[in-house]
Structure 1
């Protein structure tokens, strides 16, 4: 029987909490899931269902997110990564598996760079490795809408910015994902005390995706039609991580974790237990890519 525990911690005077679903018969290190800037500890049921049978699952309201205390002014990456390492310490384990999606991919990557020995495996999806000036301007306008209290315009603008709405590209469950994302953004706008600050921090406090990583087994996956950062640019990012693998998941956009939720969670469970990835149900032969990095150009 899975046991649920919520624990409160603090780092740098900032209080936050994490949720642990303990699996007594787990076969791999605990899996910590890091999501979007406005996503809290209860937003990952698909990971709990698929990964829960093989590992403890950890989610969190990190500093500046969800129910946690706000972050102090200035750069926040160091304090958030310190909060994540504090969770690892509190779990009483030497290592965890990290799953990071979108904004959470940047956090997970930053943690792997800061304390690689604490990360057993690293799975990164929808990595915002390249953001254009036009995208930054859109996010600034979204933050301005939110600061003025215009939650409806904020939710629509952000949802459209994060999805591929080009009908010429097939995205499974597009309309369902659109409604879910917009409803989630609207809820965050109306109920999260950190929403405006989270958005503005994401604009100015970006991780360094240009530097490499060694010593941490890494999987990078992208939706086939990701319009936030293209699969090609995410593949270039993966190529800087020695020994990493890169996979494209067909018929999805940036919200691959919503459009193919069970398949993505199954992929993560396979990776975190060192099982073969080529037979994962989210892949088809025509779209399957696997990149083993050893090119000196990326060393």
Structure 2
């Protein structure tokens, strides 16, 4: 039985908090899970179920997310990474495993570059390594709707910008995922005063995905139909990290953590315990086998 604790911290005058599910027995370092810009500390039950038997699971409302203080205007990555390093200090451990998805992938990668000695292993999913001008226009239009008080259109546009709606591509639980994502974004728009600012940060305060990371075992994974950043571009990003592994998960788009949640959690548990990835149930024999970033057959 895990023991839940929630700790309040501050960094640069901003208050935030993190949640730790402590396990009586564990086999690897604590796993900190970071998600999208509008995701908070209570949105990862599937990760808790699969990672709980092997590690303490840590989630957070970082500055600008959930119940934490909003971020001030301007670049935020230094503040958010400082908040994460403060969590590591407060956990009382020398290193953690770090799982970052979507916006959280950029934050996790930035942290790994800033304090690599504190990161044991790094898993990055749905990496937004490239954002097109068409996407920028769509999401800026969504933010404009929210600023005018039209949260319904805001939620619809953001959801459509984050999902593959092409009926010719099979996405597991597409309709269910669409309803869940839209409802979650609508809830955030109505209950968070920072929703528009969070979206604007995602467009303007872009993480640096140019490389420069060595010495940390790294896994990069993508849904095969990710339309936010294509698997090919995510593979190219993975290739900048020496020794990293890249794979695609079939029948999923950018929201692979929602469409195939148990499979992603199983994959993370394998990676963080140095287990075999090639036998993970999420990988179809042809479309999603493990490979090196240089292997063109991995997408």
Normalising by the smaller structure, the TM-score range is over 0.9
Paired position in structure 2 for 1:159: 159
Q: Return the offset for 1:293.
A: 5.7
Asked if 1:5 is matched to 2:5, the reply is yes
Q: Deviations over 1:133-163 (max 9, x none)?
A: 1111111111111111111000100111111
Q: Return the offset for 1:180.
A: 0.4
C-alpha distance in 1 between matches for 2:185 and 2:110: 25
Secondary structure class of the residue paired with 1:136: helix
Paired position in structure 2 for 1:277: 277
Q: Return the offset for 1:213.
A: 1.2
Secondary structure class of the residue paired with 2:246: strand
Asked if 1:142 is matched to 2:142, the reply is yes
Paired position in structure 2 for 1:71: 71
Cα RMSD, aligned residues only: 1.1
Structure 1 residue ranges (4+ consecutive) displaced by more than 2 angstroms after TM superposition: 288-295
The within-5 A match list for 1:242-261 is: 242-261=242-261
Asked if 1:206 is matched to 2:206, the reply is yes
User: Scaled by the length of structure 2, what TM-score is found?
Assistant: 0.97
- Could you tell me which runs of 5 or more consecutive residues in structure 1 were left unpaired when the two chains were aligned: none
Q: Deviations over 1:160-198 (max 9, x none)?
A: 111111011011100010010000011001011211111
Secondary structure class of the residue paired with 1:55: coil
Residues 101 and 126, structure 1, Cα contact 8 Å, conserved in 2: yes
Secondary structure class of the residue paired with 2:16: strand
Paired position in structure 2 for 1:14: 14
User: Scaled by the length of structure 1, what TM-score is found?
Assistant: 0.97
Paired position in structure 2 for 1:25: 25
C-alpha distance in 1 between matches for 2:101 and 2:294: 25
Paired position in structure 1 for 2:291: 291
> Which shows bigger deviation, 206-215 or 59-68?
206-215
Q: Deviations over 1:234-290 (max 9, x none)?
A: 000000001000010000000000110000000000000000000101001111343
Q: Deviations over 1:36-91 (max 9, x none)?
A: 00000000000001111110000000001110011122211000000000000000
Q: Return the offset for 1:294.
A: 8.3
Paired position in structure 2 for 1:178: 178
> Which shows bigger deviation, 204-213 or 177-186?
204-213
C-alpha distance in 1 between matches for 2:64 and 2:146: 16
C-alpha distance in 2 between matches for 1:212 and 1:289: 26
C-alpha distance in 2 between matches for 1:289 and 1:279: 9
> Which shows bigger deviation, 190-199 or 81-90?
190-199
C-alpha distance in 2 between matches for 1:150 and 1:63: 25
Asked if 1:221 is matched to 2:221, the reply is yes
C-alpha distance in 1 between matches for 2:188 and 2:73: 21
Number of aligned residue pairs: 295
Q: Return the offset for 1:104.
A: 0.3
